[in-house]
Structure 1
Amino acid sequence: MARAKQSVVVGVDGSEPSLRAALWAAGEAVLLSAPLHLVLVNNDPAREPHAKAVVHDISSSCRQAVPGLEITDEVSLGHPAEELVHRSASALLVVVGSRGQGAFKETLLGSTSAAVATHAASPVVVVPGTSTPTSGPVVVGIDSSTGSRAALRFAFGAAARRRSELIAVQALPNAYFIPGPYDHPDRDELVEAAEQSLADQVSACAGDFPDVLVRRVVSNVPPVQALREAADQAQLLVVGHRGVGGFTGLLVGSVARGVLHHAPCPVAVVPG
């Protein structure tokens, strides 16, 4: 028996940001040659008829935007974050809006999108509620962690599908930013080591994506600031689930909010 094709799963709630996320996911499904599956997680059985109408309307909008794409939709009862994390185990990609504002607004508030991005088994893309760029580079933040290597490979694939430039950003270790009355004695060594690490990691993936043009950047500003600045004109920002060195704790607390909710473009969070 043939295995079912993995879908791009998108969580929707009827808000404008969730519609933007669904339309972005539809475009990504085309690039991935994958079906699209829309899920509205409803925690009130009495509202199920309305929920079905909402998800049907979003499905229709996606079909109109991307004719010929295989699209399915459903209403599921449960806790939004838990349900989407559960579905990530069999998904090719999970997409959520950064915030929701519609009749089912509680399903896609910032805390839920952050929870899904942090715990999902598949890559997760968080799409901002504002208009998203359709051109520009793909930006990836990397270090020496396993999650970072997975993020780099994902970013190479995303850049290849878009035929865009890839900007690989490595922030210097936290020690570099510790203030003191004199220069850090190892700063030159830290910069040299970061540049070599970045070059080695990019080289390890580049052979599989010969058509992707790569620009390497070693940043001397704190990680979240470096990523936000690099992604200013980007169409996608990619980060690992958790990193070490310059990107330690990238998805913890205020740093998570800084990356996920204030990036100027969709953010892909890739597990190791």
Structure 2
Amino acid sequence: MNIEWIAVDWGTSHLRAWAMQGERVLDQAASQDGMSRTAGGDFQVALMALIEGWLPANPVDVIACGMVGARQGWVEAPYSAVPSEPIPVVPFRVPNTDPRIRAFVVPGLKQDSPPDVMRGEETQIAGFLSTHQNWDGVICLPGTHTKWAQISAGEAVSFRTFMTGELFDLLRGQSVLRHSIDDGWDEASFTDAVADTLSKPEQLAARLFALRAADLLHGQNKSVARARLSGFLIGAELAAARPYWLGQQLAVIGSEGLTKAYAAALQQQGAFVETADATTTTLAGLAQARTLTRQTA
């Protein structure tokens, strides 16, 4: 393979890498060596285990985004303060790497008031904007910690983070609700739960326990319970994020399942929503970051 550079998305739980020729993917690989498993250990060992078979004779650039640049990561890449272009500065170079690679980490974004930070999503935003010139509106990036970012004139103006995905995982796996939920899905139940919590967000805690009670008393289907749990939490998020999405041009960037759920919830409220794939936008953003490193080489 004629590899020109390597793109890396290094999150909390996963490490993903792509062998690149320009903007074309030649090969890809992934492991469970996310930051949570690698923190305090050797990040370079985890990376080389994944990409060593790709390395050409000459040193190759590795452009990484995500939690790899956090305080507990490989190297702490300083945040850029909003308002800001998604990738406003040259990625931070990792010192003392294996001589076969030159590793760079994309910095995240920070907001002083209300206090907020992001790492990785800024790269997806940059990738989305690279194919949507002069796009103004709000981008939702659902995940473990969902981001809502206001975009104007090519800059992230402000953003808010919601721990919706993490709350879902905790409630599903560690609360009393774990006995009443499986891996299935019921679209109608999800839609009803979103609408219910949007109109009465103060009832969220009671609605959650009712999922367990409905199982005990009525044998509620566990797929229905999972969909309702997701709908309750996303509905509460949409109620709090209303100033971000109401009357705005919207884009949702994420995995297929989460993107579909958020888009359905927003469309239910009459919003027009464009969707984009997280991997595609991440690679486009990393390609932009690579251009910055080459301009300053």
Same fold (TM over 0.5): no
TM-score, length-scaled by structure 2: 0.26
Higher relative contact order (CA 8 A, sep 6+): 1
TM-score, length-scaled by structure 1: 0.28
Name whichever structure is richer in strand by fraction. Answer: 2
Structure of greater Rg: 2
